[in-house]
Homo-oligomer: A and B are copies of this chain.
């Protein structure tokens, strides 16, 4: 048996899949049976761009690769079903790294309730991962970025600022606050909350990956609205405060302009319909811009891979 097929065999030996998986790995393609429209999204994770091996265990990278993709399926208000995972790595990479990466993939799949149904392996000069996540709208309409209207409220579910605070700590060579660092290495996606928001009547929704303000900007652009974030409604987590104090930064900056949060932001007709556990953080207006307490935000606004 060749090295490639041996590795595939090792990865796929003990896979369990959901009821909607008619055919899993081992054929030219997987087959899924959905009751509604199909949702599909893809994301790359590149070594030294999206993760560093000295910071992240292989398991954490595997978990993150699945999490950030499934988060986009959640953001459509769909039920995440499955992922396919493509991995390219140097020939001299420790095989144990690959095995642990795949363990992380499977672990996050279990947490997210999705099935690993396919993938690809290749050699490469550096590690490159591409995950595609598929979801089932189950008869629901998709919640796009385009449905928000002036007069509505904006609410968030998930951890804001934790990932950016964790990254700041790692960049300075430290490993704590541990909860902030852990959140950067593997975001804790609010699984299941996309459907909760949809069923509560969310008018628009998206995954916060570029930072709250930057992503609300995308929502405003598509919806033709403005949003004012009320900072008195935001929570500054203790870990964020500590990182901000240690680095002389504004803690608010982490929360509203961080990045890689993979929380969900959604708009709702009014506060009464916002689901339990979601935090109202602002209101929708017709200004066409994102403001913070009524003013433009002067700090950094988000993440650009080519800046």
Residues of A near any B CB (own CB < 8 A): 2-5, 7, 22-23, 26-34, 37-44, 46, 48-50, 72-73, 75-76, 78, 82, 84-86, 88, 91, 117-126, 128, 130, 132-135, 137, 142, 144-146, 205-207, 222, 304-307
A242 to B: closest C-beta gap in Å: 31
Using known A-B contacts A46-B123, A125-B125, A130-B130, determine if residue A28 contacts B41 with beta carbons closer than 8 Å: yes
- Contact among B3, B38, B46 for A304, CB-based, below 8 A: B3
Contacts of A78 in B (CB 8 A): 29
* Alpha-carbon distance A31/B48, docked complex (angstroms): 31
Residue with the greatest number of chain B CB neighbours at <10 A, chosen from A40, A43, A78: A40
Q: Is the pair A76, B29 in contact by a Cβ cutoff of 8 Å?
A: yes
A115 to B: closest C-beta gap in Å: 11
* Alpha-carbon distance A27/B229, docked complex (angstroms): 22
A178 to B: closest C-beta gap in Å: 28
A42-B84, A124-B126 known; 6 other A-B pairs, CB under 8 Å?
A: A27-B206, A28-B76, A29-B75, A42-B85, A120-B130, A123-B306
A10 to B: closest C-beta gap in Å: 13
Q: Is the pair B38, A34 in contact by a Cβ cutoff of 8 Å?
A: yes
A164 to B: closest C-beta gap in Å: 18
Q: Is the pair A30, B26 in contact by a Cβ cutoff of 8 Å?
A: no
Q: Is the pair A307, B3 in contact by a Cβ cutoff of 8 Å?
A: yes
Q: Is the pair A40, B118 in contact by a Cβ cutoff of 8 Å?
A: yes
Contacts of A206 in B (CB 8 A): 27-28
Contacts of A86 in B (CB 8 A): 42-44, 130
Using known A-B contacts A2-B304, A29-B73, A31-B38, determine if residue A46 contacts B132 with beta carbons closer than 8 Å: no
- Contact among B27, B40, B88, B91 for A30, CB-based, below 8 A: B40
* Alpha-carbon distance A30/B39, docked complex (angstroms): 6
* Alpha-carbon distance A206/B26, docked complex (angstroms): 11
Q: Is the pair B40, A76 in contact by a Cβ cutoff of 8 Å?
A: no
- Contact among B37, B121, B128, B132 for A132, CB-based, below 8 A: B132
* Alpha-carbon distance A23/B108, docked complex (angstroms): 27
* Alpha-carbon distance A134/B118, docked complex (angstroms): 12
Contacts of A28 in B (CB 8 A): 41, 72-73, 75-76, 145, 205-207
Closest B residue to A129 by beta carbon equals B130
Contacts of A118 in B (CB 8 A): 40-42
Closest B residue to A3 by beta carbon equals B306
A36 to B: closest C-beta gap in Å: 9
Using known A-B contacts A31-B76, A37-B33, determine if residue A46 contacts B122 with beta carbons closer than 8 Å: yes
Contacts of A49 in B (CB 8 A): 88, 122-124
Closest B residue to A128 by beta carbon equals B128
Q: Is the pair A306, B40 in contact by a Cβ cutoff of 8 Å?
A: no
* Alpha-carbon distance A103/B30, docked complex (angstroms): 28
- Contact among B88, B119, B207 for A46, CB-based, below 8 A: B88
